[in-house]
Amino acid sequence: MSIPYIFESNFEQGTNAEWDTETDTGSLLDFPHYSELSRLQGAPMPYRGAYCMRIKPGDTNDHTLTEGDIDIADAATRYFRWYLYASNDFTATADDVFSIFELQQAGGTVEQTVGMRVTASSNLLEIGVGDGTAPSSYWTFERGKWVCVELLSTISTGGAGAMTLFLDGTQVIALTSLTQAAAVGQGVLGTQLTLATTTGTLYFDCFAMDDARIFPFQKRFPSQINVTKSGHIFVGPGVVDGASLLTTTADNTMVLYDTDTAETTTASSTVANTANSGISGVSGPIFFERGCYAALGGTTPAGIVYLTQSSEKPGVFGPVHYSHAGMRQYGQNRKTRVAE
């Protein structure tokens, strides 16, 4: 497994900047901040950090992000992981099968698909995989919770292609002996081929692709967290014991900012800055009034940030908002969103 991943998107910029292109005719795709989600009944907090990707189906248009770094050569295997949340009111008045992730040739021809299906009569929601433009095998998908979706994908023009789907770490579907027409040149995340009668909301977070299985996070809110790119470590007031950057790139740095938004990375919000090269770090405890954002810098950022918090130490004040309920309460108390 490479560090950082071959491709990763945590949506922490609050935009589509991590991806090559966006297609969103009808403007149903966006990247909400946790303070916005906290005010919506039934909406989740981002799985991690302060932002996630949101799609509200309700038309027949595509609402997608496309990335050329998601490429798979013939006879090669890649692994994907993302977190997916379907709102409790996600439903359809007519049976609907639609795509949420496609592996395509560079020219757009679909080779493998992860999709979902809503059965109108039973309101059953399922997720599935298939060779081509539609899934051929499905598994029940639970609404109202973040689910870790993993895909193992082998591309083969010689009949040895494979797709394996995992939900929360458990294998649920395996397809083998698939034949693709050509190598994969891009990945497309988001809804395609939906009916206008399909409504509700889908949320995506923590997307990654690599050359080894990535696996679900062991804990959603751990006391020590590994970060492979810039992002919010926690949102709201808290204390960090210390932070260190492990990297093999000489000009890599890590800066800790006291901010609730990804783009407020100015000198006025800088709390700590590591030295470059090798193993470097800052010692604490360090108090963050609004929340800790860790930014990796350098010409080729390539490292892991180990960030230890004080929340589990007896008698030590820790990140009181580094939890699902705490983030929601903190967001509801915010009168205005911090300017980016």
Last residue of a domain, one of 177, 210, 243: 210
Q: By residue range, what is the domain housing residue 310?
A: 224-333
Last residue of a domain, one of 178, 210, 242: 210
Is residue 216 a part of any domain in this protein?
A: no
Lowest-confidence pick of 88-97, 169-178, 195-204, 291-300 = 291-300
Q: What CATH number is associated with residue 229?
A: 2.60.120
pLDDT exceeds 80 at position 62: yes
Is residue 304 a part of any domain in this protein?
A: yes
In this structure, are residues 280 and 242 in contact, taking their beta carbons and an 8 Å threshold? no
- pLDDT tens-digit map of 283-307: 767 888 888 898 888 766 666 677 7
In this structure, are residues 228 and 100 in contact, taking their beta carbons and an 8 Å threshold? no
Instruction: State whether residue 291 is helix, strand or coil.
Output: strand
Same domain, 276 and 310: yes
| pLDDT more than 90, % of the chain | 63
Give the count of beta carbons closer than 10 Å to the beta carbon of residue 231: 25
Interval 136-141 mean pLDDT: 98
Give the count of beta carbons closer than 10 Å to the beta carbon of residue 166: 21
| pLDDT given for residue 314 in this prediction | 53
Identify the bridge partners of residue 153 per DSSP, sorted by sequence position.
78, 163
pLDDT exceeds 80 at position 214: yes
Same domain, 52 and 116: yes
Confidence class for position 338, pLDDT limits 50, 70, 90? very low
Same domain, 33 and 158: yes
Q: Which two tokens stand for residue 231?
A: 């992002």
Identify the bridge partners of residue 162 per DSSP, sorted by sequence position.
154
| Dihedral, 107, 112, 114, 115 alpha carbons, nearest 10 | 80
In this structure, are residues 243 and 282 in contact, taking their beta carbons and an 8 Å threshold? yes
Confidence class for position 340, pLDDT limits 50, 70, 90? very low
Is residue 338 a part of any domain in this protein?
A: no
Lowest-confidence pick of 37-46, 186-195, 324-333 = 324-333
Please tell me the distance from the alpha carbon of residue 294 to that of residue 56, in angstroms, as a whole number.
30
Q: What CATH number is associated with residue 18?
A: 2.60.120.200
Is residue 339 a part of any domain in this protein?
A: no
pLDDT exceeds 80 at position 262: no
Could you tell me if residue 42 is left (phi over 0), alpha (psi between -120 and 50 degrees) or otherwise beta? left
Same domain, 37 and 82: yes
Better pLDDT: 313 or 281: 281
Q: What stretch of H or E contains 35?
A: helix 34-37
**DSSP-derived secondary structure letter, 268:** G
Same domain, 255 and 189: no
Query: Among 15, 22, 8, which Cα is nearest to 340's?
Result: 15
Lowest-confidence pick of 25-34, 223-232, 247-256 = 247-256
Last residue of a domain, one of 162, 184, 210: 210
Same domain, 32 and 176: yes
Query: Among 74, 67, 75, which Cα is nearest to 5's?
Result: 67
Query: How many domains does the structure of the chain reveal?
Result: 2
Give residue 112's Cα distance to chain centre.
Answer: 20
For the chain, what is the mean pLDDT? 89
Is residue 2 a part of any domain in this protein?
A: no
| pLDDT given for residue 185 in this prediction | 98
Confidence class for position 317, pLDDT limits 50, 70, 90? low
Is residue 139 a part of any domain in this protein?
A: yes
Same domain, 202 and 231: no
Same domain, 143 and 290: no
In this structure, are residues 35 and 334 in contact, taking their beta carbons and an 8 Å threshold? yes
pLDDT exceeds 60 at position 313: no
Is residue 218 a part of any domain in this protein?
A: no
pLDDT exceeds 80 at position 156: yes
Same domain, 302 and 189: no
Please tell me the distance from the alpha carbon of residue 294 to that of residue 238, in angstroms, as a whole number.
14
Is residue 182 a part of any domain in this protein?
A: yes
Give me the residue label for tokens 């009668």. Answer: 197
Please tell me the distance from the alpha carbon of residue 309 to that of residue 313, in angstroms, as a whole number.
9
| pLDDT given for residue 297 in this prediction | 80
pLDDT exceeds 70 at position 309: no
Same domain, 200 and 239: no
Lowest-confidence pick of 31-35, 41-45, 85-89, 242-246 = 242-246
Query: Among 108, 150, 105, which Cα is nearest to 127's?
Result: 150
Same domain, 131 and 93: yes
Which amino acid belongs to residue 207? F
Same domain, 23 and 95: yes
Q: Is the dihedral of CA 203, 208, 212, 214 positive or negative?
A: negative
- pLDDT tens-digit map of 220-230: 888 778 788 88
Confidence class for position 159, pLDDT limits 50, 70, 90? very high
